[in-house]
Amino acid sequence: MVRQQDVKNPGRLKALERFEILYTADFNPNTLNLVSYRKDVKKEYLGTYLVSLCKYFYERESQEKSPSNENVSHALNPVTAKKSAAIIHRCKHCFTIYDEALGEVENNVAAGTPFINLPQTYQCQLCEAGKEDFQPLDQNSLKQVGS
Ligand SMILES: [Zn+2]
């Protein structure tokens, strides 16, 4: 929420209205605990601060939930997303690894995207070999439980 602060010298500073941005503690709409986010905000910066507060809010939200679900859903095809033991695939030419747990953020592949759900156009990051040149690695030795 935004509330207008009292202006100390209303006559002189009328043009310099200042605003205070507050949010409810823990972003819980049921609490009356207001936390001040920014004070003495000039009107022209109000939007900027509100945007950054929104980002802050969504960052908090995404940290509380499991980080992947929303981003992955568009890439997942539930029919083909069969659970497989091997979550790491390796390029047979240059041994570049695709780790499902990490995805490839730089290629818009969200973390948690199974190899099988990668587009057919997927290429090795290093040598540009096709998807078919990747081979599953046996992960039993260094099995990770998703943390
Ligand atoms: Zn390669």
DSSP per-residue string spanning 55-107:
HHHHHHHHHHS-SSHHHHTTT--TTT----S--EEEETTT--EEETTT-BGGG
Is the pLDDT higher at 59 or at 68? 59
Instruction: Say how far residue 74 (Cα) sits from the centre of its chain.
Output: 14
How close is the Cα of 37 to the center of ligand 1, in Å?
48
pTM over 0.75: no
Q: Is the pLDDT of residue 16 over 70?
A: no
For the chain, state the CA radius of gyration: 24
CA–centroid distance, residue 119 to ligand 1 (Å): 16
The pLDDT value recorded for residue 79 is: 45
pLDDT exceeds cutoff 90 at 126: yes
